[in-house]
Amino acid sequence: AARAPETAGEPSASIQPVVPPGEPGQDAWGAVRRDRMSKIRKTIAAQMVRSAATAVHLTNFDDADITELEQLRKGVPKGWLGANVKLTTMPFVMKAVAIALRRHPMLNASLDEAAEQIIYKEYVHLGVAVDTARGLVVPVVRNVDRMTIPEIARALGSVAERARAVQFALEELRGGSFTVSNMGAVGGTYSTPIINYPEVAVLLLGRSRWLPVVRDNGARIEPRLMLPLSLSYDHRLVDGATAARFLNDVIDYLQTPGKLLLAE
Q: What is the pLDDT of residues 176-210, one digit of tens each?
A: 999 999 998 888 999 999 999 999 999 999 999 99
Query: Is pLDDT of 57 > 70?
Result: yes
Span 164-179, average pLDDT = 89
Q: Which of 57, 104, 125, 235 is catalytic?
A: 235
Instruction: Return the pLDDT at 101.
Output: 98
Instruction: Return the pLDDT at 193.
Output: 96
Question: Nearest to residue 182, comparing CAs of 204, 198, 202?
Answer: 204
In whole angstroms, what is the distance from residue 159 CA to residue 157 CA? 6
pTM above 0.95, yes or no: no
Domains, the chain, ranges and CATH?
58-262 (3.30.559.10)
pLDDT of residue 209: 96
The pLDDT assigned to 149 comes to 93
Q: How far apart are CA 205 and CA 188, in angstroms?
A: 9
Residues 6+ apart with CB under 8 A from 173: 127, 137, 138, 139, 140
Residue 9: pLDDT band by 50, 70, 90 thresholds? low
Q: What's the Cα-to-Cα distance from 216 to each of 177, 213, 228, 251, rounded to whole Å? A: 38, 10, 22, 18
Please, which pLDDT band fits residue 11 given cuts at 50, 70 and 90? low
What pLDDT score was predicted for residue 13? 57
Phi-psi map region of 116: left, alpha, beta (phi>0 left; psi -120 to 50 alpha) = left
Per-chain mean pLDDT for the chain:
91
Which of 257, 261, 251 is closest to 100 using CA atoms?
251
Which tens digits make up the pLDDT trace of 37-53?
Answer: 888 889 889 999 999 99
Question: What is the predicted pLDDT for the residue at 19?
Answer: 78
- Distance between CA 91 and CA 108 in Å, rounded? 18
Ramachandran angles phi, psi of 199, nearest 5°: -60, 165
pLDDT at residue 12, rounded to an integer: 55
**Backbone phi, then psi, for 3, in 5-degree steps?**
-80, 135
Q: What is the pLDDT of residues 90-132, one digit of tens each?
A: 999 999 999 999 999 999 999 999 999 999 999 999 999 998 8
In this structure, which amino acid lies at residue 15? Answer: I
pLDDT at 185: 82
Which pLDDT value is given to residue 1?
46
Q: Report pLDDT for 75.
A: 92
Is 125 designated active site? Answer: no
Q: Mean of the pLDDT values across residues 145-151?
A: 94
Bridge partners for 25 per DSSP: 32
